[in-house]
Structure 1
Amino acid sequence: MSINSSNITTCLWFDGQATEAAEFYTSIFPNSSIGHTHHYPKYGTENHGHKAGSVCTVAFNLNGHSFVGLNGGPHFKFSPATSFQIMCDDQKEIDHYWEKLTIGGNAKMIECGWLQDKFGISWQVVPKCLVEYLEKGDQEQKERVTEAFMGMKKLEIEGIQKAYAGA
């Protein structure tokens, strides 16, 4: 897989876990693949500080979104200030992503459909109907829906639909 200059590619900074992360994510998302792996050269060690031949970057694609995993070292950590939204059609899809992405993740960072995986990356697992209800509903419906999903950890479509309907 090559980097396409007409698209935006997300680069994720890891501390030696880029290959493991690429394998983990491509096992979860459909239509995903791992592309080119680049290794640190023997020259420049004084600058990059990594062993020659160790993995520098791994290109991967998750259902049409391009990523590069960079083994940059311990200097930077992921923050919930940046997250990836997964828009889901149904509860089965929500359950799939929730179950897979929470394995080994940070249990303290689970609320309102938001989770943090074992690498520290934050994800929002969201039913498409939630966005629709918040865009198209009247003020009372929007308030009920917001109150309902704010009280959930994993988002449950049935509860959101009931709130929208006023049940």
Structure 2
Amino acid sequence: MASKKVSKNTICLWYERDALEAANFYAKTFPDSKVGDIFHAPGDYPDGKQGDVLTVEFTVAGIPCIGLNGGPTFKQSEAFSFQIATDDQAETDRLWNAVVGNGGQESQCGWCKDKWGLSWQITPRALTDAIADPDRKAAKRAFDAMMEMQKIDIAKIEAARRG
């Protein structure tokens, strides 16, 4: 039996046991996201039993991923994050509030963590444009404003950019 077509490069994310819950949350929260195939363990393994959900294929904002229910051995860290570009304050607020409001936690400079410990950068395009401003003084003012924020406030970034 031939295997079905799997993406050449897929991000594998380790979860203690909630990969399916996480995948469902991402699918309902982020545009261009969905849950794909769910695979159950064909036998017992160190942190699970035969029949438990072992892996979940899902897409987050167009990026193919696999969630692995691997047990408590490894934890997520800020060394990996999804950066989601937002178009306006309403989208920034909606995504930030969804992640934080579902058991997540706020961090600095547009970063937050979901309840499974995965880091997200909810990054307005206005911020990216501001810190790339060819006027380096304007870029620094915007950057300095960002450094004081948790969730990014686009109006404050734009005001800082203008001086």
TM-score by length of 1: 0.89
Structure 1 residue 95 and structure 2 residue 83: aligned?
no
For residue 154 of structure 1, give the secondary structure of its aligned residue in structure 2.
coil
**In 1, are the aligned partners of 2:41 and 2:54 still within 8 Å (CA)?**
yes
Q: How many residues align?
A: 159
1:65 maps to what in 2? 63
Aligned-residue CA RMSD (Å): 1.5
The aligned residue for residue 141 of structure 1 is 138
Distance 2:144 2:58 in 1: 37
Offset of residue 50 of structure 1: 2.1
Structure 1: tracts of 5 or more residues without a match: none
Aligned partner of 1:106: which letter?
A: Q
Q: Secondary structure at the match of 1:66?
A: strand
Is structure 2 residue 75 aligned with structure 1 residue 77?
yes
How many angstroms apart in 1 are the aligned matches of 2:5 and 2:32?
16
- Confirm or deny: 8 A CA contact 1:83 1:122 kept in the other structure: yes
Q: Give the letter aligned to residue 31 of structure 1.
A: D
Give the conservation status (yes or no) of the 8 Å contact 1:2–1:36.
no
Mapping of residues 1-167 of structure 1, within 5 Å:
3-5=6-8, 8-42=9-43, 45=44, 48-103=46-101, 104-107=103-106, 110-166=107-163
Residue 21 of structure 1 aligns to a residue whose secondary structure is: helix
Structure 2 contact 130–138 (Cα < 8 Å) conserved: yes
For 2:64 and 2:131, locate their aligned partners in 1 and report how far apart those are by CA, in whole Å: 29
Q: Partner letter of residue 121 of structure 2? A: Q
